[in-house]
A = this chain, B = another copy of it.
Amino acid sequence: MSHPIPAGVAAHVPAETTGFVFNHTMLRVKDPTTSLDFYTRVLGFSLIDQRHFDEAAFSLYFLAYLPAGTRIPADAGERAVWMAKLPALLELTHNHGSEDQDGAVYHNGNSEPRGFGHICVSVPDIEAACARFEQLEVPFQKRLSDGRMKSIAFIRDPDDYWVEIISSTPYSP
């Protein structure tokens, strides 16, 4: 890196963390139907598991980008172990009944009180991806043409969480 290593960074990766995987990010969603539609139809994630806790009145939906033809283990225990080894899952939590509330239920972290900022999906052809989002009437937080950073966009999911879109190929607007 062109900058000196910043303070705080460990001198080496601890041996005890071998095999650690950044498995997932969890977001609460108001209505799983609209969120599952957005993440599968618009963004191309696959639903790989759902877990329903009726007594505690919540459900979990796990989504991932899988290589074509991936076989999801049918056995729940086998599936849980398989999933735990994967990086980059998205977990959506649905507290039953939130879909019947009026208006927005969740806070996207980008107004006070701030914290979480966004998730990001990289795409091979960012202009084509953004044109398709327009066609699908996905709301934009920032179009490629907005602001100073012309090579990134932000779309908004059904709960208003921001999804950054970046190019995974060299791109100069």
Contact = CB atoms under 8 A, between A and B. Distances in A.
Interface in A66-110: 68, 72, 74, 76-77, 79, 81, 84-85, 87-91, 93, 106-109
A9 B87 contact: no
Interface residues of A, number: 85
A155 interface: no
Contacts of A107: 109, 113-115
A115 B113 contact: no
Assembly stoichiometry (copies): 2
B19 A36 contact: no
Given A87-B88, A109-B107, A120-B23, A17 B33 contact: no
A2 B34 contact: no
